[in-house]
Amino acid sequence: MIKFENVGMRYGAGPEVLRDISFALEPGSFHFLTGSSGAGKSSLLRLMYLAHRPSRGLISFFGKDTASISRRDLPDLRRQIGVVFQEFRLLDHLSAFDNVALPLRIAGAREDLIYKHVSELLAWVGLKDQMKARPVTLSGGQKQRVAIARAVISRPRLLLADEPTGNVDDTIAVRLLYLFEELNRQGTSVLIATHNHSLIKRFPHPVLHLEQGEMTQFPAGTRPVNKAQAAAVPQGAK
């Protein structure tokens, strides 16, 4: 579904923030993305939702090389990618219901189906009583859940989530991970950037770990360690 080959990225004439990144996401896969602040997670996500182009290397989405995709074809490609941003990016003049319904309305879905699917999803994420509320009246955690619902309502082929549980309590965080897993079981590939190691432990999925712009991959059930931690392990120790 997605393939990175020796990808580097820099902003302007600055140093590379990502170096020699190579990995592949198979259709229907589920991965966590970890790394300390400044490790390059947000930059990697920007490449993955086509907000930035790499400074070198190859990236392909759904079998298409992004370097050869025309501007005219980009919107169609982006519609296949759902994104949950840290800053929510909700429209303040719309209700929670209308924010979530927006992708379906843009796609031309029938209003009766929109009402059914949006109502069910908002109830599932614990916002049944806030459907008519506007974002300015919602807490940070409630805004996060609206943003997640909007990202998944149209069943994207790929879902990218940047710290989706950062503004919710543990109970809601677990419920959201179950939502992501259910979406994954229905065929959507999922990549979640998170600092929450308890969730990684509870939901064993492979981990892509970034450190100083370089990536290491860890299998499901393995807690990522940084280079300093790895160097501190005595030689021959397991």
Q: Assign 13 to helix, strand or coil.
A: coil
Residue 23 contacts residue 29 (beta carbons within 8 Å): no
pTM for this entry: 0.84
Residue 89, token pair as written in the block: 């990016």
CA nearest neighbour of 117 among 141, 100, 96, 132: 100
Average pLDDT of the segment spanning 11-25: 93
Looking at the DSSP bridge assignments, the partners of residue 204 are none
Residue 31 has pLDDT above 80, yes or no: yes
Cα 100-104-109 angle, rounded to 5 deg: 140
Q: Residue 233: its pLDDT value, please?
A: 39
Cα 24 from Cα 29, distance rounded (Å) = 10
Q: Residue 122: its pLDDT value, please?
A: 94
For the stretch 85-118, pLDDT in tens is 888 899 999 999 999 999 999 889 999 999 999 9
Average pLDDT of the segment spanning 172-196: 89
CA nearest neighbour of 147 among 31, 25, 159: 159
Q: Any residues with CB less than 8 A from the CB of 78 and at least 6 apart, and which?
A: 49, 50
For the stretch 42-58, pLDDT in tens is 899 999 998 889 999 99
Residue 236 has pLDDT above 70, yes or no: no
Helix runs in the chain, H state only: 41-48, 74-78, 96-106, 111-124, 140-152, 170-185, 197-202, 227-232
Q: Any residues with CB less than 8 A from the CB of 48 and at least 6 apart, and which?
A: 2, 81, 158, 160, 191
Residue 82 contacts residue 159 (beta carbons within 8 Å): yes
Average pLDDT of the segment spanning 12-23: 93
Q: Residue 230: its pLDDT value, please?
A: 45
Residue 172 contacts residue 126 (beta carbons within 8 Å): yes
